[in-house]
Structure 1
Amino acid sequence: MSFGTSKHPIIPGRAEPSDKAEMVTQVLFGETYRVLETEKKWLLIEIEADSYQCWIDRKQHSEMSEGELKEAEFQSIKRCGDAIGQITDKVGKRFFIPCGSPLPAYHEGRFEVNGAHFEFDGRVARHDSESIIRHARRLLHAPYLWGGKTAMGIDCSGYTQVVTACAGISLPRDAWQQAEKGEAVDFIDLTEPGDLAFFDNSEGRITHVGIILENGKIIHASGSVRIDTLDHQGIYNEDIKAYSHKLRLIKRFTL
């Protein structure tokens, strides 16, 4: 088995080994993965952070040893806390990385990814009681994109996964998987800012998730990252004057 990391701002993760296939997730800069299978120019990978499997173009693969992967995982406790952060490599080339990108071996603005050294010009995500709400608001108005995990395009569960990662909480990739974690909050009156609310469809499947704010509001990715009203029925969308999502359950996540 071989291992790798992303030295690109994002790598599209696809459902099948084809450029035309559905993008189901993205590998963020600095995230690591295991290579499970090779098919021509494609690699089937399993992302270390959430065990999610997808296909990536092997031209975007940066190989690393198992020892390097384990070291990167041990060091990756810092993350980019800006909606979009800027980094500079050792020859002065600048490029941008998305919110939630790991910053392995971070120290005084410098970090390392698979032997490559970078300087980070931005805010490092802080793990405190207000971290989830702070990072949730930084991605406000980001457009919705199925499979997306960045300010340039993000889906509902990618949004909650990235935001909670910035707070030091590791969640699975999909909404239904996230709903299986955490501590249940039985009544909406007992919710706290930062709790996650999950919503189901007519068949009872969890299909949506958002982050509870203060004063009966919720922030979630639906068309874009937006703030709506939440009550015991679900999400009330002021634009359409109707409920858009039916509330199923609420979970609380702590470090």
Structure 2
Amino acid sequence: MHYGICNLSIVSMRVEPDETSEMVNQVLFGETFEIIDEDNQWSKIRLTFDSYEGYIDNKQYLKITKEFFSKLITEKQSYTAEIVDFITNKSNELTTIPLGCTLPRFNNKKLEIENQFYFYEGAVLSEKKQKNDILKVAFIYLNSPFLWGGKSPFGIDCSGFTQMVYKLCGYKLLRNAKEQATQGEVLSFIEESEPGDLAFFDNDEGEIIHVGIILDNYHIIHVYEKVRIDTLDHSGIFNTDLQKHTHKLRVIRKVI
């Protein structure tokens, strides 16, 4: 087995090994993965964090040794907490990085990728947070545009949003809404929920296709064209701009 790490700000992960193939996920700076298969241009990878699989361009990552990979996955994780910032290398070259990037082996403003050192002076999240901190992190993404497969403030989808918010608070969610709906404890009614719980929504065929984070006073923060706040009731999400329900409530889950 070979291993890799993302050394660019945001890399597209695709369904097939083709640059015109659908982007279903993104790999952010510092994320590690197993390399399942590779050819001259593309690698099929499995992300360490959530085991999500897809294809990325060989030119857009660095291979790392099994020993270094093992160190990274057993050490405390640190993540960037600024909407956008940058790291520098010893030559003072800049790499722009968005909110939620991983800082490998971060200590005293320095991070390491296979004996190559970089420097970061921005805010960092590295400890498990309380449940009420989930809302504070979620609000950082407010008004970020929708992007299918996105995981950054410059474009994000509904389950990428919930996954990243929970990740920055020290908790692990799977990548897709349907997968996230298998995690945690089912709640029977909205009244049983707390701010920070997850609400899931289905389509006419009963398939879960959407997720958001419950707020106080029957509100929800979710991604619909952008990260936005709407009203939540027993029927689903009531869009305050459109003045109609846009999503049908299926289940509420308490993960924390």
Q: TM-score w.r.t. structure 2 length? A: 0.95
Q: Deviations over 1:136-178 (max 9, x none)?
A: 0001000000011001100001111111000100111110001
Partner residue in 1 for 2:164: 162
Is 2:86 the counterpart of 1:89?
Answer: no
Over the matched positions of the two proteins, sequence identity in percent amounts to: 41
Match of 1:48 in 2: 48
Partner in structure 1 of residue 137 of structure 2: 135
The equivalent residue for 1:212 is 214
Q: Deviations over 1:66-115 (max 9, x none)?
A: 11111111224211122223222222122221222111222232222333
How many Å separate the matches in 2 of 1:184 and 1:85?
38
- Structure 2 partner of 1:151: 153
The one-letter code of the counterpart of 1:16 is: E
**Whole-angstrom distance in 2 between the partners of 1:123 and 1:133:** 18
1:195-228 C-alpha deviation (Å, 9 max, x unpaired): 1111000000010000111121111111001111
| Structure 1: tracts of 5 or more residues without a match | none
Asked whether 1:232 is paired with 2:234, we answer: yes
Q: Is the 8 A contact 2:128 2:171 kept in 1?
A: no
Q: How many Å apart are 1:43 and its aligned residue?
A: 0.6
Amino acid at match of 1:240: L
Partner of 1:235, secondary structure, is strand
**8 Å contact kept, 1:12–1:25:** yes
C-alpha contact (below 8 Å) 2:145/2:153 kept by paired residues: yes
How does 1:1-255 map onto structure 2 within 5 Å? 1-125=1-125, 126-129=127-130, 130-254=132-256
Q: Is the partner of 1:251 in helix, strand or coil?
A: strand
Using the alignment, how far apart are the partners of 2:172 and 2:38 within structure 1?
28
Instruction: Return the letter of the residue paired with 1:156.
Output: C
Greater Cα offset, 169-178 or 118-127: 118-127
Kindly provide the CA deviation profile for residues 35-60 of structure 1, in whole angstroms up to 9, marking residues without a partner as x: 11123311111111111110000011
Q: Distance in 2 between matches of 1:89 and 1:183?
A: 44
Task: Deviation per CA, 1:213-251: give whole Å up to 9, x if none.
Answer: 112111111100111111111100011110000111111
Q: Say whether the 8 Å CA contact 1:233–1:247 is kept in structure 2.
A: yes
Cα distance in 2 for partners of 1:7, 1:76 equals 19
Aligned length: 254
Q: Quote the Cα distance in structure 1 between the aligned partners of 2:31 and 2:76.
A: 9
Q: Secondary structure at the match of 1:121?
A: coil
Asked if the contact 2:186–2:251 (Cα under 8 Å) also holds between the matched residues in 1, the reply is yes
The whole-number CA distance in structure 2 between the counterparts of 1:127 and 1:83 is 20
Instruction: Tell me, yes or no, if the aligned pair for 2:6 and 2:27 is still in contact at 8 Å.
Output: yes
**Counterpart Cα distance in 2 of 1:211 and 1:116:** 38
More displaced 10-residue stretch of structure 1: 110-119 or 9-18? 110-119
Does the 8 Å CA contact 1:234/1:243 hold for their aligned counterparts? Answer: yes
Aligned partners of 2:177, 2:200: CA distance in 1, in Å? 7
